[in-house]
Every structure is written in C-alpha cells, then in structure tokens.
Amino acid sequence: MPTQDDVILALEHVCDAVGDLATLKASIEAMRTLIPGAYDVELTETEETGVLKAYTGNVSVLNLNLACYPLGYPTTILFDEDGNLIG
C-alpha cells in the first residue's frame, strides 16, 4: 500500500518537471521532512482511489499525451477531470 509520503514525493517529482515550481517543491519537501516519519501512514483504499482520481483527472485536463500499460493489474480504473469513472 502506498503511504502519504509516497504521495508527497510524487508531488515533489511533478514540481521538478516545471522550473518555476521550485518554491512549491521546497515547501512540500519542508513539510515532508519537518517531522521524519510523520507521513509514513499507509493510505486507505478510499484515499488511494482519491489519489487516482486526482492524478488521472489532472492528466486529462492538462491534455498530456499518455500511454498506459497496466502490467500485472487485473483491471484499469481511470477518471476524468471531474472525478467520473472512464470506461
């Protein structure tokens, strides 16, 4: 199961892709490192679905070109920018 820290690290990684977001990345990193281990909490299934909705919705609204290859997963779940199930 992913943890809150995994989500925060992913946000930092997204900020790394855009140079102007360096200040935001530093803020996120500071929050994550302020209390070591504070975000090592595993996500619930509901939270994990919420993260998936948020990320896929943003990929959709940003019109990013994306190819998905769900290796080893029995199902693929995607959401549009409004959080509605696609497919």
Residues 61 and 38 in one domain: no
Which structural domain range is residue 70 located in? 44-87
Residues 15 and 28 in one domain: yes
Per-residue CA distances from 44 to 13, 50, 58 (Å):
22, 10, 21
Q: Hey, is 37 helix, strand or coil?
A: coil
Structure tokens at 77: 């779940």
Look at residue 39 and tell me whether its pLDDT is greater than 70: yes
Taking phi over 0 as left and psi of -120 to 50 as alpha, with beta for the rest, 29 belongs to alpha
Residues 21 and 36 in one domain: yes
pLDDT tier for residue 58 given thresholds of 50, 70 and 90: confident
- What is the pTM assigned to this prediction? 0.67
Per-residue CA distances from 48 to 1, 16, 41 (Å):
9, 23, 12
